[in-house]
Amino acid sequence: MTALWVFGGVLLVLILLSRLWLGVQVRGAEEDWQVRARVGPLRFQLYPPKAEKPEKKPAEKPKKQKKESSGAAEKNTAFPKVTPELLRSAYREVWPPVRRALSRLRKSVRVDPLDVSLTIGAADDPPEGAELYGLAQGAVWSGMPVLEQLLEIPDPHIHIGIDFDTPQPQLRLSVGVQVRLGALVAIALGAGVPAIRWYQNSLRREAPAAKKTAAA
């Protein structure tokens, strides 16, 4: 009988935890960014970290810093270069499992606010920039109706532009996502493995091209 009560208590706790709301909000532009998180009724700032009072430390002799080889720095590529082919492969490999996971969890994920302004820099390669612009516009116009069926997005605002005079993209956004813990676990289990596999394959595909560029 005691074991039954323990099992029932654990099950009740798991059910309550699965209903717990988690959230994160990202807002900013260029170098000025702010990230805030929510766990149930608690809210706190993740970035930038709060400034701490500086502690007085005794002067230390400057240490010689070891020079890191440029080759090692090049190997530590955090993310592959954004190209039209990369976006197409992400759509083919990542979007289907994400859509299946979200379709089973309708109304468990809320996106509010959704305010995004992206300007694609095309000064270095105008044809590729124009292609990226077309893909981004197509993704917004075809993808947003689908996302609005899968998620709760009360008031979306998205703008995509292109600038042929600057090489760097310009991004300004304010995005907040709230999700129940149970739904987050289900999405991670359903879409996490395909997303990791796509990321690893993208890095492998980019490696030969990087070696050819370095050899040239």
**Domain coordinates of the chain in residue numbers?**
20-47+80-207
pLDDT, mean of residues 177-187: 88
Q: One-letter amino acid identity for 176? A: G
- Computed over every residue of the chain, the mean pLDDT equals 82
Of residues 152 and 207, which shows the higher confidence score? 152
pTM passes above 0.75: no
Per-residue pLDDT at 172: 96
- Looking at 61-125, list the stretches that DSSP marks H as alpha helix, in order from N- to C-terminal side: 70-75, 84-93, 95-103
Q: Is the pLDDT of residue 173 over 60?
A: yes
**Short-list 174, 189, 33, CA closest to 113:** 174
Q: Helix, strand, coil % (nearest 5) of the chain?
A: 45, 25, 25
> How far separated are the first and last CA of the chain, in Å rounded?
74
Residue pLDDT, tens place only, 4-39: 777 788 777 777 778 899 999 999 998 899 999 999
Q: Is the pLDDT of residue 203 over 70?
A: yes
Residue pLDDT, tens place only, 45-86: 999 987 665 565 555 555 555 444 444 444 445 667 778 888
Per-residue pLDDT at 16: 77
Q: Is the peptide bond between 156 and the residue preceding it cis, with omega within 30 degrees of 0?
A: no
pLDDT, mean of residues 153-165: 95
Check: CB of residue 47 under 8 Å from CB of residue 33: yes
Residue 25 backbone phi and psi in degrees, to 5: -130, 130
Per-residue pLDDT at 166: 93
Query: Residue 105 CB: number of other CB atoms within 10 A?
Result: 18
